[in-house]
């Protein structure tokens, strides 16, 4: 048995599974498929032709811990999901996020509030995207990567599996840290290899290639291949590989 608030109008083309809840003022487009045990929170917008898999939670209101550095505004806008989006099984996408069209958020991924994700983006299985993150069109983030708060990934960036971004050089100690929390800025066309770690505030320039397992401790130069712990320039990226 499902619960659909009386304020919600479902087009005849919409398919809804079992034990699903759709709350007040949600807007569901045409030809949307909603699986079993899905929760669509108040005001959430889902574009035409999108698919929401079993167990997904959409538009969850954020509630930070008392000790969290996250500061929420009094009014957080509803979650917006574009057309032709796929949200995988057991994903949690918070209120205050905006998801572009033709984007995939794979199973078990988490997307926090105040996040902007462009069109044709892939957010892989088990990926965590924290708050205040921007992700550009056609960027790919592979399984189990961690995109920390205040990170920017520009267009056509490639993030391999298990990449870790960081934003706090003080790791939770001293009041000084509050003014200096900053994630990475990964520019257009850059590629970051598996299990790499990017330290707080680092800029990865356009078309940089970060080899697997690298520890990136300083800003890179455009079109260079870097590797190692700490990462150092090895050579220029082959012209055939550039966008």
Mean pLDDT of 97-119: 98
Fold: same for 1-138 and 169-243: yes
Judge whether residue 62 has pLDDT over 70.
Answer: yes
pLDDT-derived band at 19 (thresholds 50, 70, 90) equals very high
Which CATH number fits the domain 169-243, given the four candidates 3.30.420.10, 3.40.50.300, 1.10.287.3510, 2.160.10.10?
Answer: 2.160.10.10
Half-sphere exposure of 117 (CA within 13 A, CB side): 33
CA pair distance 54, 49, nearest whole angstrom: 16
Q: How many CA atoms lie within 13 A of 152 on its CB side?
A: 12
Q: What angle do CA 112, 123, 13 make, to 5 degrees?
A: 90
Coil vs helix vs strand at 99: strand
Using the predicted structure, report yes or no on whether residue 53 has a pLDDT greater than 70.
Answer: yes
Q: Which residues of 68-81 are buried (b: 16+ CB within 10 A; e: fewer)?
A: eeeeeeeebebbbb
Give 174's pLDDT tier (boundaries 50, 70, 90): confident
Residue 189: Cβ-neighbour burial (10 angstroms; 0-12, 13-18, 19+): buried
Residue extents of the structural domains in the chain: 1-138, 169-243
Q: What is the pLDDT of residue 75?
A: 86
pTM: 0.94
Across residues 148-175, what is the average pLDDT? 93
Tokens of residue 177, six digits: 């840290």
Sheet strand arrangement including 185-186: 27-28, 45-46, 80-81, 98-99, 115-117, 133-135, 152-153, 185-186, 203-204
Please give the distance of CA 241 from its chain centroid, rounded to a whole number.
26
pLDDT given at position 102: 98
Q: Which residues contact 203 (CB under 8 A, 6 or more apart)?
A: 184, 185, 187, 219, 220
Q: Is the pLDDT of residue 89 over 70?
A: yes
Taking the C-alpha atoms of residue 74 and residue 16, their distance in angstroms, rounded to an integer, is 32
Question: What mean pLDDT is predicted for residues 107-111?
Answer: 98
* Gyration radius from the chain CA atoms: 19
| Per-residue pLDDT band at 70 (split at 50, 70, 90) | low
Q: Which fold has domain 1-138?
A: UDP N-Acetylglucosamine Acyltransferase; domain 1 (2.160.10)
């Amino acid at each position: 048995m499902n619960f659909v608030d009386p304020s919600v109008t479902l087009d005849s083309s919409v398919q809804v599974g079992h034990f699903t809840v759709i709350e007040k003022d949600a807007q569901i487009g045409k030809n949307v498929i909603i699986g079993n045990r899905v929760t669509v929170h108040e005001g959430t917008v889902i574009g035409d032709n999108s698919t929401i898999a079993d167990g997904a939670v959409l538009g969850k209101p954020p509630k930070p811990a008392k000790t969290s550095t996250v500061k929420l505004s009094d009014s957080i806008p509803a979650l917006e999901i574009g057309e032709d989006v796929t949200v995988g099984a057991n994903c949690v996408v918070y209120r205050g996020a905006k998801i572009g069209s033709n984007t995939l958020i794979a199973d078990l991924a988490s997307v926090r509030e105040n996040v902007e994700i462009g069109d044709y983006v892939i957010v892989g299985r088990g990926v965590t995207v924290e708050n205040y993150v921007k992700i550009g069109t056609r960027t790919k983030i592979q399984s189990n990567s961690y995109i920390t708060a205040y990170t920017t990934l520009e267009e056509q960036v490639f993030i391999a599996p298990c990449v870790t971004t960081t934003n706090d050089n003080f790791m939770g100690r001293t009041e000084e840290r509050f003014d200096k929390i900053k994630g990475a800025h990964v520019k257009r066309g850059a590629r970051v290899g598996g299990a790499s770690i990017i330290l707080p505030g680092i800029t990865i320039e356009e078309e940089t290639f970060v080899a697997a397992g690298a520890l990136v401790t300083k800003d890179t130069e455009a079109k260079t291949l870097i590797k190692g712990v700490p990462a150092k320039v090895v050579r220029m990226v082959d012209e055939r590989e550039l966008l």
